[in-house]
Amino acid sequence: MKHKDFSAESLAISGGHDPASAHNSIKPPIYQTSTFKFNTAEEGKAFFINASGDAPLEERNASLIYTRLNHPNAITAEFKLAQLDGAEDAAFFESGMAAISTAIFSFCHAGDLILMSSPLYGGTDTFIKKHAVQFGIEWIEFEPSATSAEIKALIQSHPKADRLKMIYLETPANPTLSLTDIEMIKEIRDELAADAVIAVDNTYMGPIFQKPLAHGADLNLYSATKYIGGHSDIIAGAASGSESVIKEIKKKRSILGNTASPFTSWLLSRSMETIGLRMEKQANNAQKLAEFLDSHSKVKATHYLGLMKESDSLYALFKKQNTSGGAMIAFEVHGGESEAFKFLNALELAHLAISLGSTETLVSHPFTMSSSNMDEADRLKNGITPALVRVSVGIENIDDLIKDFDQALKAI
Ligand SMILES: *Cc1c(COP(=O)(O)O)cnc(C)c1O
């Protein structure tokens, strides 16, 4: 296939695999091997030189040595994600946390500083505040409502301001859906910390409904367990960005040894063919379910980006960064934990489970589940209350979903 002639949408279907390389198989085989034969010792020597970093991407991808470093199924999956994200390259990992921790360790070392938005996914919050600090990496965080001037003052007042190496954003944030303006952050970075990498956890929207690189981010990070995998059958993570940024991350991935396996990578390639279809259907369902919840007497507040009105102060930012409201809803029932639990225990079609982005609808309680390792004060400050329920909307029949939520709300 002559890649340059086709759109990213088409290349994400069958790009990245050459049938002629594998008995004309339309789908890539699973290359279940740990190591690759060198045709000559000279070739082995050349491959090691290429793999150590500075060769162009195509040469590095052609230099197959050992599956921890690189393998054909990862290369196929990485090509597809790079197309979808408008990136030069991508890297897959055995979990979202592997992608996130490897990216942070690629750019932040002892004595460096990370600036982050809040709230972050509970695992990321814990990694930065309780684990990265053990390696001498310091952090500061800003609140969703912070202005550019407030963020600049926060950076400038820190004694390590000159060591700011990463600005880590989650927009929309899990589970509160708060938004951060990526272009504003880029202006701050360009002014105060030119070599800081801007990373965006794009799990909630991407790669279909949000393209952070187009707004000035350097790096997309994903839990590919969620929409990219899309079927609740794998744990995986991803990074995408420029060739130079991903090259650094791949060097760290090789040595930490958390490269996505051939089978995981193969499943990810399979899933990326339908991600657009799945996410569109999920978002359509979410819009209808959110409208239903918003008008329900047992529901105190519904957070869904697709419910935003033009009069909302964040509407322009939402329209700038996102092409859909997505398929994540959070809503508060009247009452507290016991009312929320009555609802959760009464669901019949939707499943009570953490995780998100899959074909089936998943419902959970962030306060006691996915965000429970955050300090309680941080949870409450960010609206993660005992009455809050999080919904990842699937591709079921929407009338059935509404019927199920309605009967479960009646249990309160
Ligand atoms: C799930 C999730 C992660 C962590 O990914 P794993 O695949 O579970 O390691 C990171 N960020 C967000 C926003 C998530 O939802």
Pick among 3.40.50.300, 3.40.50.1000, 3.40.640.10, 3.10.180.10: CATH of 67-272: 3.40.640.10
Assess whether pLDDT exceeds 60 at residue 227. yes
Pocket test for ligand 1, best of 92, 170, 202, 225 (most atoms within 8 A of CB): 225
Q: In which residue ranges of the chain is CATH 3.40.640.10 found?
A: 67-272
pLDDT tens, residue by residue, 134-189: 999 999 999 988 999 999 999 999 999 999 999 999 999 877 788 999 999 999 99
Domain with CATH 3.90.1150.10 in the chain: 275-409
Q: What is the mean pLDDT of the chain?
A: 95
Of the listed ranges 46-60, 64-78, 336-350, the least confidently predicted one is 46-60
User: Stretch 27-53: mean pLDDT, rounded?
Assistant: 95
pTM: 0.96
DSSP per-residue codes, 131-159? IGGGGT-EEEEE-TT--HHHHHHHHHTST
| DSSP string for 330-358 | EEEESS-HHHHHHHHHH-SSSEE-S--SS
pLDDT tens digits for range 356-368: 999 999 999 999 9
pLDDT of residue 127: 97
In 147-295, beta strands by DSSP E: 164-170, 197-201, 219-223, 237-241
- CA 215, CA 27: separation in Å to the nearest integer? 34
Instruction: Kindly give the distance from the C-alpha atom of residue 121 to the centroid of ligand 1, in angstroms, as a whole number.
Output: 7
Band of the pLDDT at 1, cuts 50, 70, 90? low
Residue 97 in contact with ligand 1 by CB distance below 6 A? yes
Mean pLDDT of 77-101: 97
Span from the CA of 296 to the centroid of ligand 1 (angstroms): 30
pLDDT band at 113; cut points 50, 70, 90: very high
- The response to whether residue 141 sits with its C-beta less than 6 Å from ligand 1 reads no
With 0-12 / 13-18 / 19 or more C-beta atoms within 10 angstroms meaning exposed / middle / buried, residue 217 is: buried
Helices (H) and strands (E) in the chain, counts: 15, 12
285 lines ligand 1 (CB under 6 A): no
Question: What tens digit of pLDDT does each residue of 238-264 get?
Answer: 999 999 999 999 999 999 999 999 999
Helices (H), ranges, 232-274: 243-256, 262-272
Q: Which fold has domain 275-409?
A: Aspartate Aminotransferase, domain 1 (3.90.1150)
Percent of the chain with pLDDT over 70: 99
Residues 288-301 pLDDT 10s: 999 999 999 999 99
More confident residue, 33 or 206: 33
